[in-house]
Structure 1
């Protein structure tokens, strides 16, 4: 029979993958499995605590307490910060404001408005007309010539103080000084700055041509050679090493860890089910049997014995009381038959009442 020489599906893993996978599986079973089991136990414990302790505590204790505190704080807030100001505004400020507005409106309508109309009609208007007549006459015959003289004097003083000094300063000082500074600047530019600028330009061109350009070309060639013969081979080697590490080390290790995690989860679930079954078999089922077939009959027997003993104690107490204090008055025995919904014996008539004098006689 000819052997199948076709390559395995997926290209094969190789011996390196097998050598790495076996120790990783061993480590996963010895480390990941206990961690997963402990995790499952902690999750089950947390769920049980939340269901039987924290949930009822919140629902029956903390939530009513918080609701009561919220209602109490809201009531205190309204009582301290809302209701006093609302009552002050509604029952104090608003009536007082309305009363003041009514008082001011009445004073204006009945006092200030008539007084103002009288004052304006009989005092202010005649006084204004008189002052206007006096002002027109004075302006025409007195103030106009005086104003013209004052204006001429002010113009002369203004020219003497604010115009003529600045005109003389500009004409006889600033213009000659400015012309001299301009001539000096032109001479400096022509005979100093221009030759110095030409020399600096020539120096910069020579520096670029004979120093910076050769050095720059040498640095560029050095960078190209460094990239071509050092950085590129090193980068390709690092990329090949990273690709091989990812393909032949990290990928198998990750697959094995995922497989171990799923397997540990299944094993933990199986262990939990087995532990639950063992606990039920060893504790739950025997406890239920003991409760049903031992404790329940014993409890019933203890209850019957207790009732019998209590009835006997009551009868002995009644006998002792009868022996010490005598028998009480005999009442007719009640019939066993009772009416529906009543504790009175059917067909019984109440015994006749016996007074104290008849009993003593």
Structure 2
């Protein structure tokens, strides 16, 4: 089953123009696309090989180097310098700032605030008494006087306003209403009707002029020129896109076939001869060198090493014995050890595995 085969599309009736355009376009596009697809697949394979063999190890090395140069020094600096310094500064701030500020607030500012609060309450009580006993009665009297004066001024103002309103109505409003009803309104209606007639006639003339000079030629151009050319260009574009998709799939198959052929050639030209040489020549030679040269040489080296170690041990024992004999000759035999206080208790109180002789458990 071909996995690259696109899903089947519903078949539509096609004209001769579509068929005539399809074949040459597909041939030209296939000739152009095959080298591009081969180059693309070669670059893809080279990029994967380069990423797997060079970029990923280089990235790991750069990441390790970045950690070694930046992360680990800063982490050590934070853990062993910044954190202890911060703790020390916090302790100094607590001792030098927080504790004195707390003492100042508790034993100086709090009593002072309580005293100021008592003074403020006393001043507030005095001001309240002054307002209730003096200012409030005086204010009520002034307000009563102002209210009476306001009533008198309001009555006088109402009479004056009524007289002025009556004069303004009969001298201005009534003449203006008559002028609007019998002069301005008829003249305005006549002017509006005249303007409507003129605009309607001019609009009709402009409409037919624009239709004859612009709309009908544009409609003819669209119907008989642009629409057919657009259909042809749409067919060409659709067939070109379909040809590119078809050519890309065919170029992919050709590229895979070329890749398989090149892989087979490289395998039979390089890989298989190297494998045969390694399997039939180098492996037996390596086994022979290992069995006939390396193992006997290793055994001889180990024997020589054992002999050298034994000779060195015998020399060290001889030197040690000679040094002991010289010490006895010059200084004499060592005396018995002097009895003295020992860290281990003696006699019955000596520590044993089966008895409890510690200070907390012994009888």
Work out the CA distance in 1 between the residues paired with 2:151 and 2:13: 105
Relative to structure 1, the CA distance from residue 66 to residue 242 in structure 2 (aligned partners, 3 Å threshold; closer, same or farther) is farther
2:33–2:247 contact (8 Å) kept in structure 1: yes
1:207 aligns with 2:195: yes
Relative to structure 1, the CA distance from residue 23 to residue 65 in structure 2 (aligned partners, 3 Å threshold; closer, same or farther) is same
5+ unaligned residues in a row in structure 2: which ranges?
1-10, 298-302, 326-363
Work out the CA distance in 2 between the residues paired with 1:12 and 1:220: 43
1:307-346 matches, within 5 Å, as 343=306
- Deviation, 1:263, is 0.6
1:233-312 matches, within 5 Å, as 233-237=220-224, 238-247=226-235, 249-289=236-276
Which residue number in structure 2 is paired with residue 36 of structure 1?
Answer: 37
Relative to structure 1, the CA distance from residue 277 to residue 236 in structure 2 (aligned partners, 3 Å threshold; closer, same or farther) is same
- Deviation, 1:52, is 1.6
Relative to structure 1, the CA distance from residue 164 to residue 350 in structure 2 (aligned partners, 3 Å threshold; closer, same or farther) is closer
2:30–2:251 contact (8 Å) kept in structure 1: yes
TM-score normalized by the length of structure 1: 0.53
Work out the CA distance in 2 between the residues paired with 1:272 and 1:178: 107
For the residue of structure 1 that corresponds to 2:187, the secondary structure is helix
Which residue number in structure 1 is paired with residue 47 of structure 2?
Answer: 46
Q: For this pair of structures, how many residues does the alignment match? A: 281
Relative to structure 1, the CA distance from residue 112 to residue 299 in structure 2 (aligned partners, 3 Å threshold; closer, same or farther) is closer
Which residue number in structure 1 is paired with residue 58 of structure 2?
Answer: 57
RMSD: 5.7
- Deviation, 1:62, is 1.4
Relative to structure 1, the CA distance from residue 202 to residue 39 in structure 2 (aligned partners, 3 Å threshold; closer, same or farther) is same
- Deviation, 1:272, is 1.8
Work out the CA distance in 2 between the residues paired with 1:219 and 1:46: 69
Work out the CA distance in 2 between the residues paired with 1:350 and 1:88: 66
Describe the superposition over 1:101-120 as per-residue Cα deviations: whole angstroms up to 9, x where unpaired.
55359x95xx999x99xx99
5+ unaligned residues in a row in structure 1: which ranges?
1-8, 311-337
1:98-137 matches, within 5 Å, as 98-100=102-104, 103-104=107-108, 108=111
- Deviation, 1:260, is 0.8
For the residue of structure 2 that corresponds to 1:271, the secondary structure is helix
Which residue number in structure 2 is paired with residue 95 of structure 1?
Answer: 99
Work out the CA distance in 2 between the residues paired with 1:177 and 1:74: 93
- Deviation, 1:35, is 0.7
TM-score normalized by the length of structure 2: 0.53
1:128-277 matches, within 5 Å, as 185-186=172-173, 189-190=176-177, 193=180, 195-208=183-196, 210-219=197-206, 229-230=216-217, 232-237=219-224, 238-247=226-235, 249-277=236-264
- Deviation, 1:94, is 4.2
Relative to structure 1, the CA distance from residue 77 to residue 166 in structure 2 (aligned partners, 3 Å threshold; closer, same or farther) is farther
Work out the CA distance in 2 between the residues paired with 1:17 and 1:64: 62
Describe the superposition over 1:82-110 as per-residue Cα deviations: whole angstroms up to 9, x where unpaired.
656644555554433444455359x95xx
Relative to structure 1, the CA distance from residue 192 to residue 251 in structure 2 (aligned partners, 3 Å threshold; closer, same or farther) is same
Work out the CA distance in 2 between the residues paired with 1:85 and 1:353: 65
Work out the CA distance in 1 between the residues paired with 2:93 and 2:175: 85
- Deviation, 1:285, is 3.5
Which residue number in structure 2 is paired with residue 69 of structure 1?
Answer: 70
